[in-house]
Structure formats: C-alpha cells, structure tokens
Chain A
C-alpha cells in the first residue's frame, strides 16, 4: 500500500558560516567557556511541526510563497531530509524530480544520466536499457541523448527527467517547480502520462506557482506558510484562500468538466 504519514515533523537547518564550520570553534570555543553562546550555530526552522497523511491516488498541489518550505517538504517526503523532530513514514517507490540544474551531471551524455537516475531510483541496468527506447521516444530527444547534458536547454533537461520517472512506474512522484519549462505540446503529453501513473498506483505531490499546471495535475492542495501547513483541502478551496479569489470562476463549463471541478 502506498502512503505517507508525517507526524509532528520539524526540519531545522544549522547554518555554519565559514568560521563556525571549522574545528576552531568546537575545540577552542570550549576552552574559553564564556563564549558558549557565541559558538552556537544559528538554526533555520525550515519546517515546523508538520503532520500530514497522504494515501494512494492523492494528487496534491503544494502552494505557498517563496521560502515557505515547499521544496524542503518535498525533500522530507522523499526521505532526503530525515525530520529533526517527529517522524515520517513513507511506503512506496519514490521518484523525485527536483532542481534539474544540480541533480544531473552536465559533462556526461543524456543516456548516461538516464542510466544514473534510473539506478538511483532502484532500477537495474538491464531494466533501464530496456526503457531507453521508450524514454527516447517520449522525450523526442533522439540523437541528443548521445550528447553531453550541458548542451541541453532547461526544457530538454525537464523532458529527460520526466521521461525517466514516468518510465519506471514509481508509486510516489514528487515534482518541484521548474518542470513548467517545457513547451505546451510536451506538457500535454507529460500530463497524460503523469495522470495515468497516479491512477494506476500512485501519488503525486507537485510544488508549483503555475495555476494551469496545478489544475491539470492535482485535485487537492496544501498551502505552506513559514514552514507550517496553513491549509490542506481541495484544490479549489485552498487556491481560493491562497489567492483571495476563486481561480476557477471564469472557466467554461467544458474546462471545468475536464478538470473534474464540476459540482
């Protein structure tokens, strides 16, 4: 069974500046004794007392201002950050697509990056080799896959990352903003695959500032504010509260029906 249970979880980042990050303070700081308070490392509370329960089939939008904790929450849900207080239980095969500028190696080819991502997400080399054809077709990257990743545009990187995660049948898909960099035609294609994936056996958590993408992919939403969950409910309710107006009000009935927002 695919689910995520987060209970009273907090994520606190220690901020080491150049000085406190060295041994000097830890060793010398104790000798003096008096400067104890100065030697303490400042902490940023990125997430505070988060409790969440997500289950199979959930398609959750993460909204909130910059720095509200959306990306950190995604990393908590992926198991990259273990909570400093509280617990997080994650059942299911996780596939994250975060900042694509950092998570991939620019010097190696697209194919090698596909292989590395696949292996990280728990696939074997054989399984990935079988999927390369499918990924190549879906991403429409063709011969580009043999070139180093530094020659790719942002949109092409997104295509590659989405190609990998949608080809390996993950159960929990975690998408950070940035996947909006692809063109409309590809997004329509990716949407079908993502929705299909979630329907088959999964869960999607998607952080974005793009309402259009959220309408297409999500049906519920979490509003993050200053590291806390401010609101958790249906997409329409949360977006209305977050934006101060109903984002669906000017849509045609057809669009609403397609998005499953009627009634």
Chain B
C-alpha cells in the first residue's frame, strides 16, 4: 500500500529508507550487474579492478618509500591499504553524487524507494573494495614478517607501531561503519547533485585535493617530525581532515599500526550528523528527485 501526500514528512522518508534496505535482492543484483557490465567482454573481467590496484600500489609504494626514505616492508602495505580505503570513500563521494542522475531511466519508469539507488552505488563500491582486498592479502603475505614485528616503524624516526595482532578484527566494524557513512553520503550528495548539476564537478575538483592532503601516500609521522617543536598549525592538517579518521579506523588494524579511540569517536560523530542531514534532505526533497532527474 502506498499513501502519497503532497508535502514533507519524516515518516515517508524513514519508510523509503526502511523499504530500500528491505529490497536487498534488488540493489545487490543491480550492484553486481554494474560490475559485470563494466567488464563485459573483457578476458579477465572484474579482476582488472584488482590488477590496476596492484600496479598502482606497487608503483607508488616503490617510489614513495624511496622519496621518504621509509622501509618498504611496512610502507608499501601502509600505502596499499590507505589507497584501497581511499578508493572506496572516493567512490562514495563521486559516484554518490551521480547516484540519482545515472539512474534517471529507472527512477522515471519503475516505482522504487530512492534508497535502493544509493545502496546500489554503495554495494557496487563494496564489491570493488572486495576485489581490491585481494591486493591487500597478497601484500600481507609478502610482508607478513615486517608487519607482525612489535615496534616496527613506518618512516625513519617515526612512532613505534605495535604490529599485527588480534585487534585486526576491528577492521570489520570499521568497514561497516565506513559503508554506513557511504550510504548517507550517496543519499545527501545524490539529492543535492540532482538539483544542482554543478555539485558533481565541485566534488570531483575537491577530491583531487583531498587525496593529496590526506595521509595516504605520506605517513602522518612526517607531520610530527617536522612541526612538533614549533607546535604550529601544520600539525593539525591530518587531525582536522575527517577523511583521515575514516582511513585510520580501517587502516590501523589491517597493518597493525597504533589504534586510537579518538578516530572512532570522530567517525561516529560524523555518522550521526551525516545521517541527520541525509534524513532532513530525504524529508524535504525525496519526492522532488523524480521531478528533477
């Protein structure tokens, strides 16, 4: 049963989200179709995702470990995991902005909760993340002895890291939390972008910059080494960047580096605020999206 009123109300927004999650088979099928279709007629198919990540990680890892004079056995895994997590978050922001625009045909022809399309995007990115994790497991196998050693360093003179241990299991809730955030990003950015078509371009422009200011290809130790004595604002470059906290909750357990609860607090705070904003956008503009696409 569908009761449709003109106007803005929270029950309709919440019902959309609830029904959207309920249609798991639909968005799972659509997300998997996206992957299959992108690599249709290619010989190794979705393994291209894995392969391109492997090439990037190996290339950047070799180069930057030389540039920063860091031990490759720990820096390459650091960079690989950072890059994998970054790719997922990047997708949530860029593909998320395009969520409703790229589903225009379906939105106008078949009635379905909007949340289905956001989940389709997040699920596709999750599948790509899973493919990229193969690179992580390969890197882990190669550099296992470097990563389990208590007191390893990521860069010369950097902080001592505890090494891999049982805390690696916190990677699971960490990923779930990142994906939950990806969903509100897709909903919120998707709605705004459908109305204002400049937003996807703004997001694209900003993510370029964000990639370089986030500690992915450079270790955060460097900040401390360079600016600790002066205590200047540069120390905060990482801490003030929300993406750093997201990367850190997943990267730290996967490579056995120092975990800190404050990253979790920041991420949980952003989760609450983000979902509140997404709910508000859904309340006010959910019914308008089919008019705007």
Contact = CB atoms under 8 A, between A and B. Distances in A.
Given A79-B111, A83-B6, A26 B196 contact: yes
A92 B1 CA distance: 6
Given A90-B2, A116-B29, A96 B111 contact: yes
B197 interface: yes
Given A22-B197, A75-B108, A99-B109, A119 B23 contact: yes
B37 A89 contact: no
A68 interface: no
B111 A89 contact: no
B103 to A, nearest CB: 11
Nearest to A100: B109
A86 interface: yes
Interface in B192-218: 195-199
B35 interface: no
B33 A112 contact: yes
B51 interface: no
B6 A84 contact: yes
Interface in B1-32: 1-6, 23, 25-26, 29-30
Given A26-B196, A102-B108, A115-B29, A107 B40 contact: yes
A230 interface: no
A140 B140 CA distance: 53
A81 B286 CA distance: 11
A13 interface: yes
B236 interface: no
B291 interface: yes
Contacts, number: 98
Interface in B211-267: none
A74 B5 CA distance: 17
A192 to B, nearest CB: 25
Nearest to A107: B37
Q: Is the interface of A mostly helix, strand, loop or mixed?
A: mixed
Nearest to A117: B110
A139 interface: no
B35 to A, nearest CB: 12
Given A26-B196, A103-B110, A108-B37, A89 B3 contact: yes
Contact of B30 (A80, A85, A89, A116): A116
Interface in B31-56: 33, 37, 40
A207 interface: no
B107 interface: yes
B159 interface: no
B1 A91 contact: yes
Interface string B92-117: 00000000000001111111100000
B105 A102 contact: yes
A90 B290 contact: no
A84 B285 CA distance: 12
Interface string B260-292: 000000000000000000000000000100111
A98 interface: yes
Contacts of B30: 116
A78 B111 contact: yes
B1 A94 contact: no
A125 interface: yes
Given A116-B29, A116-B30, A125-B25, A96 B109 contact: yes
A80 B30 CA distance: 19
B108 A82 contact: no
Contact of A80 (B195, B196, B198, B290): B290
Contacts of B290: 75, 80-82
A84 B4 CA distance: 10
Contacts of B108: 75, 80, 98, 102-103
Given A22-B197, A83-B6, A102 B109 contact: yes
Nearest to A5: B3
Contact of B4 (A85, A87, A117, A121): A87
A56 to B, nearest CB: 14
B110 A121 contact: yes
Nearest to B287: A82
Nearest to A4: B2
Interface in B154-213: 195-199
A124 interface: yes
A86 B6 contact: yes
Contacts of A112: 33
A81 B291 contact: yes
A54 to B, nearest CB: 14
9 contacts: A14-B292, A79-B4, A83-B5, A85-B6, A87-B5, A102-B105, A103-B109, A116-B30, A120-B26
4 closest residue pairs by CB, A with B: A103-B109, A82-B287, A119-B26, A90-B2
Interface of A: 9, 13-14, 16, 21-24, 26, 75, 78-92, 94, 96, 98-99, 102-103, 105, 107-108, 112, 115-117, 119-121, 124-125
